[in-house]
Structure 1
């Protein structure tokens, strides 16, 4: 009995060592350096000054608001559209395997490549999107140069790229539902709409919860697509926490950028944990 207990404890050591070296120690160091003004030669303790500055500077605190908008809208769109596509691609259509490949294709393309491509497509005068809209009388929309449209343009691009993963997760979740539920519903006279509402939607909730969490956390951490398309501009219209952190680090404000990373970590932890608890509480047993 004692040997079994010793073995079970020692089996945890490799995992704990990896966790300590690659997560716990960097986290503690980040917390320390976020309270300092530092460079590669010296470190000066400044308390919470970096955090106060982060929330007092418009270029920085705007990033917090935009990050929340970005995470909620991209996550919500991926959940709704991914579920609808998942339902469609688990139906009896003959070309569903081909369509699944097409839907998943954007996820295989580099994020930077997608950003550069959509920047060209959204060019106000030469972009293909505006040329197509011009055929129906809509002229030269400045998708990325208009402060009111830029963030939503990037959000739309993010949804296009990430929709494939969400759809695949929904497809797997829907296909795992026992077919006898649908057979019983047909016997009871339930039409397709009622089957979707009372069988597919509740029983696909685990897949939906996975998509919500992945999309939300991914949206909170998003940087590469925004940087490729707008660089955080115009002005601060598409500035998010990650891009603000990068700019401060590039400018040599290492303590301030570290504080931004800590803020982003705390935002994700504080929001994601209760969200996960809430979603798990609503799953069908």
Structure 2
């Protein structure tokens, strides 16, 4: 769950600035991504936390159950293969299962805004992580020494610095994105959306070029709107509705992310090294 929260911290500025700079677009009326946070679906954060936590749980859990040597390396090839296959096949399923007890009942049945579901979910993660951190395992603080500034510390530094500078100097109104987008078509066509609990929701089958609610793009830089049946076309960026607000929001997320990663990677202790492999020699006995 700590990994899930850490992944959301990495994703926040990327998602907000990515959609604003037209690195991708979202389908307009899909009920599962309709509720937005700066035009990012709230379910994106739920997704990243749940799937990262599920993957990590199986990645480390299978090794702890089947192996005894090292956190990242099993005792032998067969055990490593089993751990990898289990993680690869069931990591996504474990992420999907985390949508069932909270998101789908509240959102689909009671029409509660996705923001509420996501904040409850992330809050539960944070409380469980905090409770676990109050009683750490012995191997969690092996030396009491601080870590060294290395490439693991450099990655979040570069990541957050890039997106903070992008929020300051980026010009989304000059962006054009030509590529595969939601197909344009009949504004009255409706398609069913089936949920995990069997409910049938609905969405527009196509993007209605004359009536859509995606304020991060439009067609104003084009001579004419793409015709119906188009799925490969150009969309135009829009200016920041409040540039200072974007700078504050993205900047605060970057500072918070840097603070947390600094404490995890630098102040949390040295990173564990690879396991020592003992080789047997007939003439010299054992050597490491």
Is the helix fraction higher in 1 or 2? 1
With normalisation by structure 2, the TM-score equals 0.24
Which one has more relative contact order, counting CA pairs under 8 Å at least 6 apart? 1
With normalisation by structure 1, the TM-score equals 0.24
